[in-house]
Chain A
């Protein structure tokens, strides 16, 4: 019974994610694109919850939907760009599309080959006694992967300072 519910949930969320991201890249109005992107974020967050990664799901909504996409909307509304007419399919777009599809298939083949995707089943993760998702995440992040984590945060700090320097040039 539970299995069936999980599967129905997965297919609904997965199809929503794929369809809304397709809408996102095909809308001519950038604000509409941003709103479809919002729906994609929510669907992906739902899939994270199904994988017992509720921390990542909450952070996904908070950071991507709540902060980054709001900033996009902010910029788009201030600039109010007119439609670029990219639907007409010039040569460059077709070429870009072909390259993207080839790269995507390449990534898919690599993933299938290395067994990174170990199982297609949606399963519960068995955390040790007294461990929640957040605790497990923090433990791994601050012991095993402390160096990549710190490197990423320094990178973000550099980007932030760079943005301030560029904005305050004059």
Chain B
């Protein structure tokens, strides 16, 4: 019993360390990739090819003065960064990186990830409200509207693969794709998932909550030092979570020929992460009404139609 607990703790520690390293190097990849897309070089000075840049950034953030403005609601202001970061990291507990590499294999794994991603919005709402600042409040109001809208579309699109696999267990969903990736029969759901995943993580072109040009930085404008870094970590951890979920639900997870399972999983996840960066370098930011129209009038009806058709087909085949 005690041994099992210690073993689980070690697994959790390894996954958290890997995630944080991944987050750090994703900021580097982001600057490099977008740099090259815009015919620049990106960071080159710190270390060979700028590879030590994330470490330098981390050190800089830690060494900075942690300022708390006078008129903030202190308890909420202090708790908000944690609520922004913890759900993103906790979601990794159920993701099957390969046949044997996971912390927990629970029956409602998919719902667990969805529940955590819906709780993640509290970090944004609380920081916006507690900051007692106009920009922060505007940013968090936009964000809560956006996340609630796109969560619906995301949930509906996820139900397609769930119906095909007949399970909410992420490992069983992966195993059900041995013959054919769900991306093929569920292509509509895949497109809807990709769009709403970008919106759900507040990334460009849906980064209205932190639109620099109009809201300076949105909800985290009053934060500095490590508290700011925690929002940053949370955002990137969430990107990894939706990318892993995309790999599990639509791209066959760890299945694949020749290479070891974990490598397949990482390739699929990183391909989706690259898609995030690609979008950011390509598309301009949407206007708020366009964002709401896209979510409620286009994505949700299509997702509902897809769900209906999938259920009918699955029912016809099973009987």
- Do residues A77 and B122 form an inter-chain contact, with CB atoms below 8 A? no
Query: Assuming the A-B contacts A32-B76, A55-B111, A133-B108, are A78 and B118 also in contact, with contact meaning beta carbons closer than 8 angstroms in the complex?
Result: no
- Do residues A58 and B119 form an inter-chain contact, with CB atoms below 8 A? no
Smallest Cβ-Cβ distance to A38: which chain B residue: B122
A1 sits at the interface (CB 8 A):
yes
B178-192 Cβ-contact flags toward A at 8 Å (1 or 0): 000000000000000
Stretch among B54-62, B143-151, B291-299 lining the A interface: B143-151
Query: Assuming the A-B contacts A35-B126, A77-B125, A77-B129, are A59 and B111 also in contact, with contact meaning beta carbons closer than 8 angstroms in the complex?
Result: yes
B15 sits at the interface (CB 8 A):
no
Contact residues on B (Cβ < 8 Å of other chain), bracket: 20 to 34
B141 sits at the interface (CB 8 A):
yes
Residues of the B chain whose Cβ atoms lie less than 8 Å from the Cβ of A1: 1
A65 sits at the interface (CB 8 A):
yes
**Interface core residue of B73, B128, B129, B151 (most chain A CB under 10 Å):** B129
- Do residues B108 and A70 form an inter-chain contact, with CB atoms below 8 A? no
A59-80 Cβ-contact flags toward B at 8 Å (1 or 0): 1011001110011011001100
Residues of the B chain whose Cβ atoms lie less than 8 Å from the Cβ of A70: 118, 121-122, 125, 144, 147-148
**Residue from the list B1, B79, B108, B145 in contact with A134, Cβ < 8 A:** B108
- Do residues A74 and B145 form an inter-chain contact, with CB atoms below 8 A? yes
**Interface core residue of A1, A57, A58 (most chain B CB under 10 Å):** A58
B302 sits at the interface (CB 8 A):
no
B114 sits at the interface (CB 8 A):
yes
Q: How far is the CA of A134 from the CA of B112 in the complex (A)?
A: 13
A54 sits at the interface (CB 8 A):
yes
**Contact residues, B113-171 vs A (CB, 8 A):** 114-116, 118-119, 121-122, 125-126, 128-129, 137, 140-141, 144-145, 147-148, 151, 168
Min CB distance, B5 to chain A, in Å?
9
Pick 7 A–B contacts, CB within 8 A, sort by A: A31-B129, A61-B116, A67-B151, A70-B122, A70-B125, A77-B125, A77-B128
Known: A62-B115, A67-B148, A74-B141. 11 other contacts (CB 8 A): A2-B1, A35-B122, A54-B107, A55-B108, A58-B111, A66-B119, A73-B125, A74-B145, A77-B137, A132-B107, A134-B108
Taking Cβ atoms with an 8 Å cutoff, the residues of B that contact A are 1, 73, 75-76, 79, 106-108, 111-112, 114-116, 118-119, 121-122, 125-126, 128-129, 137, 140-141, 144-145, 147-148, 151, 168
The 4 closest A-B pairs by CB, nearest first: A66-B118, A58-B111, A61-B115, A62-B115
